[in-house]
Amino acid sequence: MESGIMATKEDLYTKVTPRRYRSGTVKHGSSLDVLLSMGFPKNRALKALVSTGGRNVQAACDWLFSHVDDPFLDEPLPREFVLYLRPSGPLLHQLSHFWQQSRLACGKNKAHNIFPHITLCQFFMCEDGKVEALCEALQATVNRWRGRFPSPLRLELYTSSNFIGLFVEEQVAEVLKVFAADFASEAAAKADVHVEPHKKQLHVTLAYHFQANHLPTLEKLAKGIDVSLGCDWLSVLYSRDIRFANHETLRVMYPYTPQNEDELELAPGDFVFMSPMEQNNTSEGWVYGTSHSTGLSGLLPENYISRADECDTWVLHGSYSFHGPTSPSAAGGAVGGICDGQLDGRLLDESSPGDPSPLSVICHPVQGQRVNSQSLLPKRTLFVCRHGERMDVVFGKHWLSQCFDAKGRYVRTNLNMPPSLPQRSGGYRDYDKDSPITVFGSTQARLVGEALLESNTMIDFVYSSPSLRCVQTAHNILRGLQQDGKMKIRVEPGLFEWTKWVSGTSLPAWLSSADLAAANLSVDTTYRPHIPLNKLAVSESYDTYISRSFQVTREILADCKGNNVLIVAHASSLEACTRQMQGLNPQNSKDFVQVVRKIPYLGFCACEEQGETGVWQLVDPPILPLTHGPNHSFNWRETLLQD
């Protein structure tokens, strides 16, 4: 096969290159010829080109290789298309700022599922073989409207109890509807597709389906948008997979290797489509979904995914400006971030004449997404990490009776138990509420520290909950960072978890900083806590816990101004120490608990300060996630000596 490609390389290159580099787009005809010459069936080649926006041959090949086991690969399913007007230039900057600030202040609402736009038609279907003609219909319509398109578009702010938007002034809106009708006629003539122009009032949706108490904040932010700013409105054509139109879109955060035949393999950066109707027979903590990158379906762990925006998996097929020379683009793929490169009204081509030709790379193996460990970190970052695997969870609440004799002497009975434990002035029974970590817990923590070191992540200060499991985890992270003995852990009681979760009528009898240091843990014995032990109350309310966590985090960051901080605490800390720092309101206690139960040992998050605004935002951590599975106790006598 390779020699066949090489023999016709020059001929194929002359077919692909002139069109691609002269117009900035790849015609399906030329790319289709290449794919057919490689032996792909026509229906699959067309599906791959449409599913990647006709970007180039390499993208289509990658799609085909990853979808080789997709059960719908040979099904003649059309995609759904939609025509939008999308802003660019100064107005886009204003709208993007509103999107970011509204999300930080009030959380995500329905408007955040799709980028800022004006809808010109309803979703409609188009067969793969007619998509190129559809794109030509849009370009022809835009060309006829040059000089006729209303500029500027006059927008007026409208707010109600559950909706905020910018409405197009009525006379101008009628002109836009004529443009949409012209496109519908052109699409019917060129591509034989039925397009239904949008009949409702034309508008840019800013927010809807939000909590009533968020209205004043959202309205204030919306009034800050200067609608008189210049804007080159682009006519853009997107498509989505018709199978998942009513599914929830989720982003894969961590890799997962299936343990059973009915499970789905996960790769970070992929998306999963999930239908509520398909979740009836799933076990707790598991969901059923379909991979965007492979088309395969199966069960997957719920805590490996997070919510994404609906448009994250849409494909761009064309972007055309009504001003100046035409600037079509078929640089498709997922649409997130596309407008960042088209502020001048043109979409940046994903390949330039200096890039390798598509024919020179079409036989390369498909590369999975990798985390760039050399990415530069922001100037100031807060890292929050859960402690490592704990003894009382692995070996049960009666582990003390297994490991301590009548005289209180410790003897480990499993290799995953530490060789020794710190002495406690109150006796070994104090371990009942203040469990140490296992040997594997120490290994987990050291691996995280080593990953931080390899990624060149700077940690300036380390804070820990007073729980022994947290201090031990922080110590082993410092070992991995090669900072044990050089950097001291500040033990902060204010970072302890929600005291309502502590059994009994008293809090744990924690080891003092001096006792921790005597146990060779790298602890700062001179540190004076922001919230001392005597300020913690048993069975505190949820509001008290959330306020305490927010207060101590702010005070820690104020003390460490200009420096990166690592907090090692509890599963609840990843949410409690970062949510309000982002300007978001606390979740209710029920939703909070659902988030906490999904955070594994050594769960790790990063929160970045946004300039001098005092607002923080969650970002991708600089290290890969750490996945681990259960390992039950093995008794060789019971297993191998059975009759």
**pLDDT for 318-327, tens place per residue?**
999 887 544 4
pTM for this prediction: 0.53
Q: What pLDDT score was predicted for residue 324?
A: 55
Q: What pLDDT score was predicted for residue 379?
A: 62
C-alpha angle 234/238/242, rounded to 5°? 160
C-alpha angle 122/128/133, rounded to 5°? 75
pLDDT at 7 over 90: no
- Confidence grade of residue 463 (pLDDT, cut at 50, 70, 90): very high
- Residue range 17-27: average pLDDT? 36
Q: What pLDDT score was predicted for residue 178?
A: 95
- Residue range 13-31: average pLDDT? 42
Residue 186: name the closest of 175, 194, 176 by CA: 194
Residue 406 gets which letter from DSSP? T
- Residue range 261-265: average pLDDT? 93
Position with higher pLDDT, 611 vs 461: 461
- Residue range 173-195: average pLDDT? 95
E-assigned strand segments in 475-582: 489-491, 565-569
Q: What pLDDT score was predicted for residue 104?
A: 84
- Residue range 34-51: average pLDDT? 92
- Residue range 485-506: average pLDDT? 93
Position with higher pLDDT, 616 vs 282: 616
What is the distance between the alpha carbons of residues 32 and 265, in angstroms, rounded to a whole number?
30
Q: For 564-610, how does the pLDDT look when each residue is reduced to its tens digit (9 = 90+)?
A: 999 999 999 999 999 999 888 899 999 999 899 899 999 999 999 87
- Choosing from 67, 317, 380, 570, the catalytic residue is 570
Q: What pLDDT score was predicted for residue 107?
A: 86
- Choosing from 112, 198, 380, 386, the catalytic residue is 386
Known active-site residue 247: no
Q: What pLDDT score was predicted for residue 284?
A: 81
Residue 95: name the closest of 119, 114, 73 by CA: 114
Q: What pLDDT score was predicted for residue 623?
A: 93
Q: What pLDDT score was predicted for residue 133?
A: 94
- Confidence grade of residue 364 (pLDDT, cut at 50, 70, 90): very low
What is the distance between the alpha carbons of residues 231 and 154, in angstroms, rounded to a whole number?
11
pLDDT at 80 over 70: yes
Q: For 208-234, how does the pLDDT look when each residue is reduced to its tens digit (9 = 90+)?
A: 999 999 999 999 999 999 988 878 899
Q: What pLDDT score was predicted for residue 332?
A: 41
Determine contact, residues 444/415, Cβ cutoff 8 Å. Answer: no
Q: For 312-346, how does the pLDDT look when each residue is reduced to its tens digit (9 = 90+)?
A: 999 999 999 887 544 444 444 444 333 333 323 33
Cite the annotated binding site by residue number: 469
Position with higher pLDDT, 551 vs 151: 551
**CB neighbours of 505 closer than 8 A, spacing ≥ 6?**
538
Helix, strand, coil shares of the chain as percentages rounded to 5?
35, 15, 45
Computed on alpha carbons and rounded to an integer, the radius of gyration of the chain in Å comes to 29
E-assigned strand segments in 373-527: 381-386, 461-464, 489-491
Position with higher pLDDT, 456 vs 17: 456
Chain mean pLDDT for the chain: 84
Position with higher pLDDT, 21 vs 613: 613
- Residue range 420-439: average pLDDT? 93
Helix axes 131-144, 28-37, angle to 10 degrees: 160
- Residue range 289-295: average pLDDT? 95
Known active-site residue 475: no
Q: What pLDDT score was predicted for residue 643?
A: 57
Q: What pLDDT score was predicted for residue 41?
A: 93
Position with higher pLDDT, 150 vs 635: 150
pLDDT at 135 over 70: yes
Residue 236: name the closest of 128, 131, 156, 120 by CA: 120
Helices (H) and strands (E) in the chain, counts: 18, 19
Q: What pLDDT score was predicted for residue 338?
A: 32
Cα 585 to the center of its chain, rounded Å: 20
Known active-site residue 117: no
| Percent of the residues in the chain that have a pLDDT greater than 90, as a whole number | 61
- Residue range 138-149: average pLDDT? 91
Burial class of residue 342 (count of CB atoms within 10 Å of its CB; 0-12, 13-18, 19+): buried
- Choosing from 387, 390, 490, 579, the catalytic residue is 387
Phi, psi for 382 (deg, rounded to 5): -105, 125
Q: Cis peptide before 328, with omega less than 30 degrees from 0? A: no
Position with higher pLDDT, 372 vs 503: 503
pLDDT at 497 over 50: yes
Q: What pLDDT score was predicted for residue 89?
A: 83
Q: What pLDDT score was predicted for residue 615?
A: 76
Position with higher pLDDT, 23 vs 33: 33
Cite the annotated binding site for substrate by residue number: 469
pLDDT at 509 over 80: yes
Instruction: Determine how many CB atoms are found less than 10 A away from the CB of residue 122.
Output: 13
What is the distance between the alpha carbons of residues 172 and 305, in angstroms, rounded to a whole number?
43
